[in-house]
Amino acid sequence: MKYKDKKKVLVIGSLNVDMVTNVDHTPVAGETILGDKLDLIPGGKGANQACAAGRLGADVTMFGALGDDQYAMISKKSLIDSGINVSYLIKKKHTGTGVALITVDKEGDNSIVVIPGANAKLSMEDIDRNIVLIEQSDIVVFQLEIPVETVLYAARKAKELNKLVILDPAPAPPEFPMELYRYVDVIKPNETELGILAKTENVLENLYEATELLKDYGVKHVIVTLGNKGVYVNSFSQGIEQIPSYEVQVVDTTAAGDSFTASLALMLAEGKELMEAVRYANLVAAIVVTRKGAQSSIPSVDEVREYEG
């Protein structure tokens, strides 16, 4: 498909820099330990999803807020390298870029402190001032690492303008605004997030009831990612289907969910049917879990084609 024929994807969300060090064990209160070295890695769910969609060939614009510090460029450069339009990113004065402080212990377990910085300041006024972005896009993708009221406002605008709205409800807030469901065409929780949104325990045994509830609230298609158990789809038009995951050698599951959402957006932008989009996302995410890192683990279009064989 030619670039100019593709629908335009707008990602509205977070941009972070992950500061990662490897440690022997996670320090307890009052303890000082040594890390091996410091890696500065671009992250944030919004930026990860924009990068993934861009690398897989979508026409993507990223909208979000960076700080006025040296970390902003790390985030921006990675987006530029993935072919994303970054010309509308906002720089918040006297504010830091979003940062995640991550220690990884020798068992591979993470401990993370997130400092939202500029992400927390992305406001409804910022959306209004840049409404042209929503007007000019076809598909708008959200996550919940920016203020939920900003997401609600922008999603309402997107729906008023007849755009397709995709929501990756991560991290799931304890209080989710009910009105938001009405503006969402596709929601993609993982099983934990679905449990929080539907206030359901044992979500795996209640997938039908929990996803029906989100449809009752107004969402059209509910797509639940279930890690190595694959994907559960409950769609108002395509029915219900559970698709198994690919059997792969798992190295690192970071960004599996983000690349899944990005692939969905890409395929829907190319005019594909929902179920075809889900199958493609399932494949891309399976490739991602065989590689280390977040944005670094996302395959190119050609690499996905090789796996499709």
Residue 285 engages ligand ATP in binding (rule: CB under 6 A): yes
Residue 46 engages ligand ATP in binding (rule: CB under 6 A): no
How is the beta sheet containing 8-12 ordered, strand by strand? 59-63, 8-12, 139-142, 164-167, 186-187, 221-225, 231-235, 239-243
Residue 260 engages ligand ATP in binding (rule: CB under 6 A): yes
Residue 140 in tokens:
């708008």
Closer to ligand ATP by Cβ: residue 133 or 278: 278
Residue 146 in tokens:
């920016």
Residue 234 engages ligand ATP in binding (rule: CB under 6 A): no
Residue 297 engages ligand ATP in binding (rule: CB under 6 A): no
CB atoms within 10 A of CB 46: 31
Residue 16 engages ligand ATP in binding (rule: CB under 6 A): no
Interface residue with ligand ATP, options 225, 234, 235, 297 (CB under 6 A): 225
Q: Is the dihedral of CA 186, 133, 150, 69 positive or negative?
A: positive
For residue 200, give the DSSP letter.
-
Residues 6+ positions from 131 with CB-CB distance below 8 Å: 157
Closer to ligand ATP by Cβ: residue 127 or 141: 141
Interface residue with ligand ATP, options 74, 258, 277, 304 (CB under 6 A): 258
Interface residue with ligand ATP, options 289, 297, 298, 304 (CB under 6 A): 289
Residue 190 engages ligand ATP in binding (rule: CB under 6 A): yes
Residues 6+ positions from 281 with CB-CB distance below 8 Å: 231, 259, 260, 261, 263, 264, 267
User: Is 258 a known active-site residue?
Assistant: yes
Residue 226 engages ligand ATP in binding (rule: CB under 6 A): yes
Least distance from ligand ATP to the Cβ atom of residue 141, Å? 14
Residue 47 in tokens:
């930026």
Applying CB under 6 A, which residues contact ligand ATP? Answer: 190, 225-228, 230-231, 245-246, 248, 250, 253-258, 260, 282, 285-286, 289
Catalytic residues: 258
